[in-house]
Amino acid sequence: MNSNSIEDRMKKTLENVHSNFQTIRTGRANPDLLSRIQVSCYGSMVPLQQVASVSVPEPMMFVLNVFDPQAVREVEKAIMNSDLGLNPQTEGAIIRLRLPDLTEERRKELVKLVGKFSEEGKISLRNIRRDILENLKTQEKNKDISEDDLTREQQSVQKLIDEFTAQIDKNTQEKEAEILQI
């Protein structure tokens, strides 16, 4: 396994953690906040952005324009069932979502969610490391690489893991600070 593919896998993990952080609400309306919402529509679960356009006319409000009037009820239900705590106001195919002020309790819940996403990212990194080390040990057992090469590669992989874990920790601290100081 070459170091580029290892690093690519780790970068994808980091990007996934970052995109999950983007779905966590801070002080203003951001369309990414709605990206995790799945709507039961046309016999399957689809992302909200596929059944409605999202606009942000005010800093604390979303306006959804549902493409199919038959899907409005399903969109409302998906929003209410989400962990965002939003209450949809519907007028025909238009749904307005006003972001409530963040209470101290809600901020703490969001910080816990940030921690959960962070831990999932670290678990993913550890799984990548485990896979790589198993592969290296198999190569060493088959005499494809020497014991010295194995040790050198293990240290290299651990260094990469440490760098990416530190980046996740840094991003986590920044997101927590952003949530708590709103």
Per-10-residue mean pLDDT of the chain, 182 residues long, equals 79 90 74 84 88 87 89 90 84 87 82 93 95 92 89 92 95 89 68
**87 Cβ contact partners less than 8 Å away, ≥ 6 residues apart:** 80, 97, 98
Q: What is the pTM of this model?
A: 0.70
Per-residue confidence (pLDDT) for residue 154, from 0 to 100: 92
Domain boundaries, the chain: 3-21+103-180, 28-98
**CATH architecture classification, 3-21+103-180:** Orthogonal Bundle (1.10)
Distance of alpha carbon 47 from its chain centroid, rounded? 14
Question: Residue holding tokens 């203003």?
Answer: 28
Are 13 and 164 within 8 A, CB to CB?
yes
Per-residue confidence (pLDDT) for residue 13, from 0 to 100: 93
Same fold, 3-21+103-180 and 28-98: no
To the question of domain 28-98 being in CATH 3.30.1360.40, the answer is: yes
